[in-house]
């Protein structure tokens, strides 16, 4: 992908991505893009599809504990497809547009959908890697604040005494319920290698 077109897509994302949730802002999208480019360079895949998908995978981003969140990934997929179809039809084929729509719609962590294409696996891996590491710890508590969660369960903060983690009640429960499960969900060898040090950091934290 040429630099000029990439800048156009980044400018689109800057105008579209909301500013209310620091854990899913334009900086998150740019970090996912950087990871996508790193993975694509080593694993392959269509960068023309991956770049807009990475930038706009959270184009529709309601709070995670609201009903609209259940369809946010599908709405984001439709958003990406409409943008490419209406603004960049001279550059994208219908097959590429459909692929971008599908991989964004299936990117959601909570729905655990299987990504069948290489591009889908790369996008999902990049987004999952954003869920572990130093910045991920900050993102976790930002997201918890947006959802107005308690910081932790008063009687069993680490869910070590038989309590089932409730990530929509306690911020700290997001670690065993989501962050510590990321590595088992990764697809590519490159992402699995990157995950090792990130997981160690989160566990030490």
Domains delineated in the chain: 3-204 (1.10.3210.50)
Mean pLDDT of 178-199: 91
How far is the C-alpha of 192 from the C-alpha of 18, rounded, in Å? Answer: 30
Q: In this structure, are residues 79 and 60 in contact, taking their beta carbons and an 8 Å threshold? A: yes
Q: What is the pLDDT, as a whole number, of residue 48?
A: 98
CB atoms within 10 A of CB 89: 11
List, in order, residues 6 or more apart from 26 with CB less than 8 Å away.
13, 14, 17
- 81: nearest Cα among 56, 100, 55: 100
pLDDT value, residue 145: 81
Geometric angle at alpha carbon 176, from 172 and 181, rounded to 5°: 140
SS3 132: coil
The predicted pLDDT at position 174 comes to 86
Placement of tokens 């729509």 in the chain = 101
Tell me how crowded residue 78 is: count the other CB atoms within 10 A of its CB: 16
Global pTM reads: 0.88
| pLDDT at residue number 76 | 95
pLDDT per residue as tens digits for the range 112-140: 678 899 999 999 999 999 988 888 888 88
Please tell me the predicted confidence (pLDDT) of residue 15: 94
- Residue 167, pLDDT > 90, answer no
pLDDT band for 9, please (50, 70, 90 cuts).
very high
Residues 6+ positions from 41 with CB-CB distance below 8 Å: none
Q: How many alpha carbons fall within 13 Å on the CB side of residue 10? A: 14
Residues 83, 89: Cα–Cα separation, whole Å: 9
From 93-97, 113-117, 193-197, the region with the lowest mean pLDDT? 113-117
Band of pLDDT at residue 54, cut at 50, 70 and 90: very high
Comparing 138 with 34, the larger pLDDT belongs to: 34
pLDDT at 23: 83
């Amino acid at each position: 992908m040429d630099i000029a077109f990439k800048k156009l897509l980044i400018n689109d994302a800057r105008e579209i991505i909301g500013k209310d949730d620091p854990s899913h802002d334009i900086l998150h999208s740019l970090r996912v893009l950087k990871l996508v480019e790193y993975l694509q360079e080593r694993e392959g895949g269509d960068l023309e599809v991956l770049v807009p998908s990475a930038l706009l995978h959270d184009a529709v981003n309601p709070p995670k504990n609201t009903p609209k969140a259940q369809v946010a990934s599908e709405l984001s997929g439709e958003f990406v497809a409409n943008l490419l179809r209406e603004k960049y039809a001279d550059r994208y084929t219908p097959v590429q547009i459909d692929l971008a729509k599908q991989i964004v719609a299936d990117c959601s962590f909570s729905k655990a959908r299987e990504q069948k294409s290489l591009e889908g696996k790369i996008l999902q891996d990049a987004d999952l890697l954003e869920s572990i590491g130093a910045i991920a710890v900050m993102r976790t508590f930002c997201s918890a604040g947006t959802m107005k969660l308690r910081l932790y369960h008063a009687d069993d903060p680490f869910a070590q005494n038989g309590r089932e983690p409730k990530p929509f009640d306690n911020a700290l429960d997001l670690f065993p319920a989501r962050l510590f499960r990321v590595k088992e969900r990764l697809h590519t060898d490159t992402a699995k290698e990157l995950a090792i040090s990130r997981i160690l950091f989160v566990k030490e934290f």
